[in-house]
Structure 1
């Protein structure tokens, strides 16, 4: 069972972009609203089962992590519409794999041994190369406009800071997975509500594409809870590396199920980039 649990986060998080992008006539506002509602419902169900204690410290930090997550997710959803899931996910995941370990080193004193630092920084270099390969422009396809791609990469770099903060904040708080998740999803709902209201899209929450995006939120909740269980059963490093296989699922799924275009050259670069991203993830976590 503990080995099966390793794959559930990757499957759930890998399918999440495909579910969101498959909803017809949806926009980023529908997608983020539906996702946070689905995640909140999943968190409430899990909390009702466990009745985990939630104190002020857990709530404040986890809610802040949820609000930061929305920043990263909005950037990702905008990028889906610009360059597709199959290009967005490797870049976004690679940037997170670079940023989160660096925060761990600088803020939490991780990679304490010389060997860990050596392998870790080699892994980051490999990740950077992998991200670069997956972002190679495909001329003649929908993602091939260089100006469009450059602006999208800049957007991902800036908004991925939200993901990095979201992944790093929980390290300063201790609590059960369900108590952290429900507080996190409350923060997600608050941030998404502010985003839609400020942009004049408050009615988004009542629209049909928003309701159709709710299953993506369920997948987020399932992935998060199963990741926590996988960490408890198999350790942080192994669980984290397996969870990053989500990028393979979402990238291939974008090409196969969403029919996103890539030239032969672009496909070759993407495959090599994915291999390097997974290799970099292993180096930065297992050694």
Structure 2
């Protein structure tokens, strides 16, 4: 039963990017919907659990949520460049590498020789996995212009995801500064998500003269926020039942769902060779994440 609960975050977070693809809208609509939906779930969780939130907890976790919104915005933008099935393994890999490095530097994790060897070995494995997912099949007889466009989209996607990595690092690490537990962090984080998401909406409305607040697709994307909140809620329960290492490791199976969901459900085209590259890369990222969580 505990393991089944541990799988629920993977389902919520794995189907989130697929849902954005099915619902549609621009990245700004998707971000707005996700942040609002997540806040609704967080309020319900707060009422149910009633955790203690200190002022220090609140402000660090507010910053954490704002950082997440930056990372999530770049991820949604990357979907438009390289698709869900390529974005998710790369994004997950970059997050694992970034958070691992900062936790070693700032929080003293991986103390001792063996944990450091295992940890940095896992980082190398994750990097190899990320590189594999970026590979394209050059023997697919596409016109030269199409190949050049695909290469440009890949570069754009990678740049966006590297920028977003720093947002996700802040999301992961800011609550650790205040030593905040997950239940206390959830509501302030989602408030921060909504604040930063609203800032992005205002900037977008000013630049494009199109107001996302007046577009129905923004509110349809609240479903994606429910999926995020669903995953976060059961992740908190899972870590209590199974421990952080096991809960985190199983939750990373979300990348399998989102990657193959992008191919099967969203019909993202892949040659046989590219499918092999993505599968091998995803396996490397998952194995690296497992090693990291136990290092």
Using structure 2 for the length normalisation, give the TM-score.
0.93
Q: Distance in 2 between matches of 1:53 and 1:285?
A: 27
Q: Distance in 2 between matches of 1:47 and 1:169?
A: 20
Is 1:250 the equivalent of 2:258?
A: yes
8 Å contact kept, 1:28–1:77: yes
Is 1:2 the equivalent of 2:2?
A: yes
Q: Distance in 1 between matches of 2:115 and 2:135?
A: 30
Instruction: Give the count of matched residue pairs.
Output: 286
Q: Distance in 2 between matches of 1:171 and 1:162?
A: 15
Partner of 1:210: 218
Distance 1:279-1:108 versus aligned 2 partners, 3 A rule: same
Q: Pairwise mapping of residues 49-198 of structure 1 onto structure 2 (< 5 A)? A: 49-138=48-137, 140=142, 145-175=150-180, 177-198=182-203
Alpha-carbon deviation of 1:138? 4.4
Could you list the runs of 5+ residues in structure 2 that have no partner in the other structure? Answer: none
8 Å contact kept, 1:137–1:143: no
Q: Distance in 1 between matches of 2:179 and 2:82?
A: 38
User: Secondary structure at 2:45's aligned position in 1?
Assistant: helix
Q: Pairwise mapping of residues 267-282 of structure 1 onto structure 2 (< 5 A)? A: 267-282=275-290
Aligned CA-pair RMSD: 1.7
8 Å contact kept, 1:83–1:142: no
Partner of 1:41: 40
8 Å contact kept, 1:177–1:228: yes
Alpha-carbon deviation of 1:142? 9.4
Alpha-carbon deviation of 1:136? 0.8
Could you list the runs of 5+ residues in structure 1 that have no partner in the other structure? Answer: none
8 Å contact kept, 1:91–1:131: yes
Using structure 1 for the length normalisation, give the TM-score.
0.95
Q: Distance in 1 between matches of 2:166 and 2:88?
A: 15
User: Secondary structure at 2:122's aligned position in 1?
Assistant: helix
User: Secondary structure at 1:275's aligned position in 2?
Assistant: helix
Partner of 1:235: 243
Distance 1:143-1:28 versus aligned 2 partners, 3 A rule: farther
Q: Distance in 2 between matches of 1:255 and 1:180?
A: 34
4+ residue stretches of structure 1 with deviation over 6 A? 141-144
Alpha-carbon deviation of 1:173? 2.5
User: Secondary structure at 1:22's aligned position in 2?
Assistant: helix
Alpha-carbon deviation of 1:45? 1.1
Moved more, 114-123 or 138-147: 138-147
Distance 1:102-1:214 versus aligned 2 partners, 3 A rule: same
CA offsets per residue over residues 147-170 of structure 1, 9 Å max, x none?
121121011111211011101111
Distance 1:236-1:143 versus aligned 2 partners, 3 A rule: farther
8 Å contact kept, 1:52–1:176: no
Distance 1:71-1:143 versus aligned 2 partners, 3 A rule: farther
User: Secondary structure at 1:72's aligned position in 2?
Assistant: helix
8 Å contact kept, 1:34–1:205: no
Moved more, 95-104 or 195-204: 195-204
Partner of 1:17: 17
8 Å contact kept, 1:43–1:178: no
